[in-house]
Amino acid sequence: MAGKNHTTLPEFLLLGFSDLKALQGPLFWVVLLVYLVTLLGNSLIILLTQVSPALHSPMYFFLRQLSAVELFYTTNIVPRTLANLASPHPQAISFQGCAAQMYVFIVLGISECCLLTAMAYDRYVAICQPLHYSTLLSPRACMAMVGTSWLTGIITATTHASLIFSLPFPSHPIIPHFLCDILPVLRLASAGKHRSEISVMTATVVFIMIPFSLIVTSYIRILGAILAMASTQSRRKVFSTCSSHLLVVSLFFGTASITYIRPQAGSSVTTDRVLSLFYTVVTPMLNPIIYTLRNKDVRRALQHLVKRQSPLP
């Protein structure tokens, strides 16, 4: 019997927001609306960058990949979150289901880090080395960067998920969260917890800080190039091509840093859930809005598409 109990895989219980019953109803409709806007916005970005000849450049190729990641990212989390919000009780998730959700979550999160870094590199080459742009960002080079982004995400997710889900868990584990995120699941492990938490969090910080450092380095070089320009109008025009990406980077890395790098001693379950809700649900909705509102090429392509689809008067 002892051997049988040891090999039985536990079923996790996702607490979600079941302890905040007054908020569950309103939160359900807010999350559903945000999810629908996210699906529409990112699908529109993918469509525009695919069909508009003006958006067939490396920058928009990376943007299309980013929008695809955002679609998968939210779809991995939001449907189950909505099911949890619709129920007054915590919802069960199987051991395999929890592992799969975390695996996909890490793959997409790390891939997004790398894609944002590739987009920063694109802006650096376009502004600081324009004569080498077509060589350094050839179609083959862009495909290699995207492939590396996905491969990095897969390797990271495989090592993280393997380490975390090889640990022993209690027979009836309750996750005080609405998704199988790294820290809440890791804290449930009943053995090897401290060593594993240090290993996983060190790797997580590294995979957040390395791409962020590369992005900061790119923009320091870009800032130097902008300040060297004689014309104020040229400076403004060049900076406007970077502003959308800077906003998206600030949103993504800002919330990720607060979630994974801040001291855990002063954190609360409610704070963790609110932060996670922002970067898993709200941020993917804001990205296409930022690129649509702040990017003239995307706005122009959208207007052209609408005119083409509208019936003639």
In a domain, 31, yes or no: yes
Asked if 52 contacts 301 with a C-beta cutoff of 8 angstroms, the reply is yes
Instruction: Report the pLDDT value the prediction gives residue 183, as an integer from 0 to 100.
Output: 81
In a domain, 30, yes or no: yes
pLDDT digits (tens, 9 = 90+) for 196-221: 666 666 776 777 788 889 999 999 99
Q: Say how many domains are in the chain.
A: 1
Residue 55, pLDDT above cutoff 60: yes
pLDDT digits (tens, 9 = 90+) for 1-19: 444 444 567 788 888 888 7
- Of the candidates 128, 129, 121, 122, the one whose C-alpha atom is nearest the C-alpha of residue 58 is 122
| Separation of CA 155 from chain center | 17
In a domain, 123, yes or no: yes
142 phi/psi in degrees, rounded to 5: -65, -45
In a domain, 281, yes or no: yes
In a domain, 42, yes or no: yes
Asked if 159 contacts 203 with a C-beta cutoff of 8 angstroms, the reply is yes
- Of the candidates 312, 65, 18, 25, the one whose C-alpha atom is nearest the C-alpha of residue 177 is 18
- 266: pLDDT confidence band, cut at 50, 70 and 90? low
137: domain CATH number? Answer: 1.20.1070.10
In a domain, 301, yes or no: no
In a domain, 28, yes or no: yes
- 228: pLDDT confidence band, cut at 50, 70 and 90? confident
> Which range has the worst mean pLDDT, 42-51, 65-74, 136-145, 195-204?
195-204
- 107: pLDDT confidence band, cut at 50, 70 and 90? very high
Instruction: Report the pLDDT value the prediction gives residue 214, as an integer from 0 to 100.
Output: 92
pLDDT digits (tens, 9 = 90+) for 23-47: 888 999 999 999 999 999 999 999 9
- Of the candidates 182, 154, 159, the one whose C-alpha atom is nearest the C-alpha of residue 260 is 182
Query: Reading across the β-sheet that carries 12-14, which strands appear in turn?
Result: 91-93, 12-14, 174-175
Alpha helices in the chain (DSSP H): 2-7, 21-51, 58-86, 95-128, 133-136, 139-165, 182-186, 193-227, 232-260, 269-277, 283-294, 296-309
Which residues constitute the domain of residue 228? 11-292
In a domain, 309, yes or no: no
Residue 197: CB atoms within 10 A of its CB come to 17
